[in-house]
Amino acid sequence: MLKEFKEFAVKGNALDMAVGIIIGGAFGKIVSSLVNDIIMPLVGMLLGGVDFKNLQITLKGATVGPAGEAVPEVAVRYGLFINTVIDFLIVAFTIFMVIRTVNRLSQLRGSLSSRGATGTPQS
C-alpha cells in the first residue's frame, strides 16, 4: 500500500494538482486583498465615503444578558457579501481567461500539426 501511495504521490498529475491548489490559495488571498484594500475603498470614495465592510441591516442590537454577559447584535452584513461577490467575480474571470488562452493555444497547436501532417507549408 505504501508503494502504491508513493507511486501516486510522485506522478506528474498529483504533483501538478498539489502545486495548483497551493498557488490557488495564494491567488485567493491576493484577490481578497485587491478587493478589500484597493477596489472597494476606491468605489466607496466615489460613492461618497461609503465603507462597504460596515454596510449592514441590524435586526437586533447588542444587549447585556440577564447574567451580565454581552449578547452580540444580529445583523445582515450585506457589505461583506458584496465584497465576497466581487472577489468571486475576479477569480472567475481570471480562471475564464486562463482557460480561454489554453484552449486557443491548443486549437492553434492542433491546426499547425494538421497542416504539417497534410504537407501544407507552414509559415
- The conformation of residue 37, written as its DSSP 8-state character, comes to I
Beta strand pairing status for 57-60 and 63-64?
Answer: unpaired
H or E element in which residue 59 lies: strand 57-60
Does some domain include residue 62?
Answer: no
Q: Which residues span the domain enclosing 111?
A: 2-57+75-116
Does some domain include residue 66?
Answer: no
Whether pTM > 0.75 for this model: the answer is no
Does some domain include residue 50?
Answer: yes
Q: Please state the domain count of the chain.
A: 1
pLDDT in tens, 2-26: 887 777 767 767 778 888 899 989 9
pLDDT in tens, 38-70: 999 999 999 998 888 899 999 999 999 999 999
Does some domain include residue 25?
Answer: yes
What pLDDT, on a 0 to 100 scale, did the predictor assign at position 119? 54
Does some domain include residue 91?
Answer: yes
93-105: average pLDDT: 91
Q: Tell whether the model's pLDDT for residue 120 goes beyond 60.
A: no
